[in-house]
C-alpha cells in the first residue's frame, strides 16, 4: 500500500485581520522527531501568542494535535484535518500565530489555520511512497539495449548503471509489476540475464505516477 509524505521542510504564511499565520511542515518518522520539530519552531517564535501543531505517523497510526491556547477545536483539529484530507503521513505541521489585536471568532480561526496548512502543503514536494523491489540485472552489451528499452513500460526507476565487462543495472520496480517484468526480461534475453532481488522497500515513485495525488 502506498502512502504520501513530503521530502523536506516547507513554509508559507499569510495575514488575516492583522494576525500573521506562519505554517511550517516537516517530514518526521517518530513522535520524538515531531516533538523536536515542534520545540524548534516554538524556540524560533517565542514571542508568538500561539504555536498550534498536529502530526501524523504511519507506524502505529499515531496522530496528535494541540490548540496551544486557542479555543478548543478551532486550531489543532483543523490543522490535523487538512493533513488527513490530503492523505499525508509521517508529517508534522506547526502553525504560529502572531495576534494582531482583532478577534477572528471560531469560524474565522478554523478557516485561518486550515488555510495556513493548505498553502504550506502546496509549497511542499509531495512524495508518492510505494512498495517496490530493488533488482540488480546483469547482462551483456548485446542484450542491454533490449532490457533498457522495455523498462519504462513497467514504470521502473533506474538507480544505478555500471558498464564494465558486463552491464549491471539496478532498478526499482513496483510490487505489482515485479513478476511481469522478471518474466519479460527472462524472455527477451533468452534467460541469459542474471536478475537478483535485493529486497522490498518503500521509495518515492511520484515521478512515474503523476496525477495520483490530489
Ordered alpha helix ranges (H), 124-208: 141-150, 175-188
For the CA atoms of 185, 186, 191, 196, what is the dihedral angle to 10 degrees?
Answer: 80
Kindly report the pTM of this predicted structure.
0.86
C-alpha cell at 47: 514571542
Give the H or E element holding residue 110: helix 105-123
For residue range 127-147, list pLDDT tens digits in order. Answer: 999 999 999 999 999 999 999
For residue range 66-105, list pLDDT tens digits in order. Answer: 999 999 999 999 999 999 999 999 999 999 999 988 888 9
- Say if residue 212's pLDDT is above 60: no
Helix (H, G, I), strand (E, B) or coil at 23: strand
Amino acid at each position: 500500500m502506498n502512502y504520501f509524505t513530503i521530502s523536506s521542510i516547507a513554509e508559507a504564511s499569510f495575514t488575516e485581520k492583522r494576525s500573521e499565520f506562519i505554517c511550517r511542515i516537516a517530514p518526521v518518522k517518530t513522535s520524538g522527531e515531531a516533538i523536536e520539530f515542534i520545540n524548534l519552531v516554538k524556540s524560533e517564535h517565542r514571542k508568538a501568542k500561539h504555536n498550534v501543531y498536529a502530526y501524523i505517523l504511519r507506524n502505529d497510526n499515531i496522530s496528535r494535535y494541540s490548540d496551544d491556547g486557542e479555543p478548543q477545536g478551532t486550531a489543532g483539529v483543523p490543522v490535523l484535518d487538512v493533513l488527513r484530507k490530503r492523505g499525508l503521513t509521517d508529517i508534522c505541521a506547526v502553525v504560529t500565530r502572531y495576534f494582531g489585536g482583532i478577534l477572528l471568532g471560531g469560524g474565522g480561526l478554523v478557516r485561518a489555520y486550515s488555510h495556513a496548512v493548505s498553502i504550506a502543503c502546496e509549497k511542499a514536494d509531495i512524495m508518492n511512497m510505494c512498495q517496490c523491489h530493488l533488482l540488480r540485472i546483469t547482462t551483456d552489451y548485446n542484450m542491454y539495449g533490449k532490457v533498457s528499452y522495455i523498462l519504462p513500460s513497467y514504470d521502473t526507476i533506474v538507480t544505478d548503471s555500471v558498464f564494465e565487462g558486463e552491464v549491471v543495472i539496478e532498478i526499482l520496480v513496483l510490487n505489482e509489476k515485479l513478476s511481469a517484468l522478471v518474466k519479460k526480461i527472462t524472455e527477451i534475453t533468452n534467460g541469459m540475464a542474471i536478475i537478483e532481488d535485493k529486497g522490498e522497500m518503500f521509495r518515492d515513485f511520484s515521478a512515474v505516477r503523476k496525477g495520483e495525488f490530489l
